[in-house]
Amino acid sequence: MTTRPALGPCVSFKLDEDTHLKLVNAKERSGRSKAGEVVLRVKDHLLRYPDFYPTVTYKSVSFGPVVMARFDEDTNKN
């Protein structure tokens, strides 16, 4: 495993098991790291839907794994 210095803003969040499995499958298909996949998908979503405000609440969802992603290009290189 290659270690790189943490250079940019960092976000940690918990995922429900189903979403975590989808993330793991996506990163396996793409060859990116989990953090790299998260960064790419968050950036893409924000570009496509800059005014997206969901009305869904997540009170009944139990959350599992924590994913940490840094939003800078140097940290998330493959």
- In this predicted structure, what is the pLDDT of residue 76? 60
- In this predicted structure, what is the pLDDT of residue 26? 96
Which tens digit of pLDDT belongs to each residue from 17-40? 899 999 999 999 999 999 899 989
- In this predicted structure, what is the pLDDT of residue 60? 64
Asked if residue 47 is part of any domain, the answer here is yes
Asked if residue 24 is part of any domain, the answer here is no
Asked if residue 59 is part of any domain, the answer here is no
- In this predicted structure, what is the pLDDT of residue 9? 76
How many structural domains compose the chain?
A: 1
Domain extent, residue 77, equals 31-52+64-78
Burial of 76 (0-12, 13-18, 19+ CB in 10 A): buried
Whole-number average pLDDT of the chain: 78
Here the tokens at position 25 are: 């499958």
Question: Nearest-CA neighbor of 5 among 63, 55, 56, 76?
Answer: 76
- In this predicted structure, what is the pLDDT of residue 65? 67
Asked if residue 70 is part of any domain, the answer here is yes
* Nearby residues of 30 by Cβ (< 8 Å), 6 or more positions away: 37
**C-alpha–C-alpha distance, residues 20 and 22, integer Å:** 5
pTM above 0.85, yes or no: no
Asked if residue 38 is part of any domain, the answer here is yes
